[in-house]
Amino acid sequence: MPNFVSVIFDFINQAGLILGLFFVVILNNKRNKPQNRRANVILSILIVILSLSIVHSLLAGSNIGFFEASPYRLKEPFILLVGPFLFFYVMELTNKNMQYKKAADHCIPFILYYVIIIPVYFGKNPYSIFLNENSKIITQILWVFIIGQYSYYYFLIIRILDIHRSVIETEYSASDNLRLSWVSLFMKVFLGLLMVILLILPLLIHTDNSTHPDKMITLALSIAIFILGYKGLMQKEIFSVQIPENDDEKAKLGKQLDSVNNEQNITQNITNPDLIIQVKNYIAEKKPYLNEQLTLTLLAGELKIPRNQLSYIINNDLGESFYSLINKYRIEEVKMKISDPANNNYTILSLAYDAGFPSKSSFNSLFKKYTGLTPTKYRENLTEMTSK
């Protein structure tokens, strides 16, 4: 049984390596959208990094002297690049104007590892002997560092995704092609990899045999390649938002997202009650929400008031995000259309499209969220009530 399990592990790892190379070729196909090209390049590098991290396990035990010359695993330096390049990838998706001048800073741990360890591969000298004799403790220190590094990038990326989500809800009334729900799956994979490392760390500390921990990590890396490659191919073009690199600026942006526009300043915190009524009446009477591409900026232009002032009214005086406010109006529009006998021959989905919803999935989820019922169940209940 152990031999059979080992064969299965090796097969999955080989498949991960082969598919990784395949995904890299497909992702960089010239037919891909130019908007996605830079993101695809970064994702390709990330997949190559994961593939290189698998190489040692596949070649361990072979007759290739270079791989047998050191007690250090080649995947250990490469695995230090997984967090940084996942960060670069998410930043590229959420910020098309991202500058990579400081990218090298994120790669310093990887560079330092090679500077420290590379002498062990070339001849015997006091330093290389020291590295060989203390390989276990150095490897343990490295994996503890990796856990810290992965934790840092996990929370950093989650923060970026939260800011991105907040900006979407502040500016957009429809978010089907804007949200990063599939990137959240990437983060679950990344978290899973972190959990695997945490689980195998005691084995690395208490045993000299690294075969089983090595196979567990490479299996996790292979699964990561499957998911990253497939989801990367399925990605859609999404909205970009400027994410500052400075931590203080990030915190400031997070607090201001729902009420401040960087282009203009609000001169007073107390809104004219007449202006609030004007906004509510305009939305109710003119029904701008019927436009599925409605944004806060477009609505501010129609109302002829500053965008930031409209944002303040919606967030503070009406107590809603722009996204939730507009979609509540759309839900009410659908409910009104369903209750009209003249629309009995129309499907609920067609009524939803007429009300400004861009897709079936967003309509169904929002309708149930705000009414507690599925659209079909709502219509059935309404029919039963009117027939009595």
| pTM of the complete model | 0.70
Q: Which secondary structure element, helix H or strand E, spans residue 158, and what is its range? A: helix 135-171
pLDDT in tens, the chain (388 residues): 456 666 776 677 677 777 777 777 777 765 555 556 777 788 888 888 888 777 766 665 444 444 455 566 555 678 888 889 889 888 887 765 566 667 788 889 988 888 887 777 676 778 878 877 887 788 788 888 888 998 999 999 888 888 888 878 788 777 655 556 667 777 888 888 888 878 777 766 666 555 666 677 777 778 788 777 776 666 554 444 444 444 454 444 444 443 434 433 444 455 678 888 999 999 999 999 999 889 899 999 999 989 888 988 998 888 888 989 999 999 999 999 999 889 888 999 999 999 999 888 889 989 998 989 899 898 888 877 776 6
Tell me which residue has tokens 């809800």. Answer: 169
Residue 41 tokens, joined:
């390049």
Angle between helices 135-171 and 296-303 (to 10 degrees): 20
Query: 227 — phi, psi (to 5°)?
Result: -75, -45
Cα separation, 15 vs 20, in Å, equals 8
Nearest residue to 356 (alpha-carbon basis) of 300, 258, 286 = 286
Q: What is the pLDDT of residue 193?
A: 80
44 CB neighbour count, 10 Å cutoff: 23
Determine the 3-state secondary structure of 243 from DSSP: coil
Unique residue bearing structure tokens 């080992």: 6
Q: Is the dihedral of CA 32, 35, 37, 42 positive or negative?
A: negative
| Six-digit token string for 291 | 């436009």
Write down the pLDDT at residue 216.
Answer: 73
Q: State residue 270's pLDDT score.
A: 54
pLDDT on residue 334: 94
Instruction: Report the pLDDT value the prediction gives residue 285, as an integer from 0 to 100.
Output: 92
> Do you know the residue count of the chain?
388
Which of 235, 234, 230 has its CA nearest to residue 23? 230
**Separation of CA 339 from chain center:** 40
Please report the pLDDT score of residue 134 as a whole number.
81
- 9 — phi, psi (to 5°)? -60, -45
Find, among 279, 285, 311, the residue nearest to 297 by Cα.
Answer: 311
Task: Specify the pLDDT at position 239.
Answer: 41
Could you count the other beta carbons within 10 Å of the beta carbon of residue 272?
12
Question: Residue-wise over 81-95: b if at least 16 C-beta within 10 A, else e?
Answer: bbbbbbbbbbbbbbb
Structural contact between residues 320 and 314, judged by C-beta atoms closer than 8 angstroms:
yes
> For 87-122, what is the HEC assignment?
HHHHHHHHCCCCCCCCHHHHCHHHHHHHHHHHHHHC
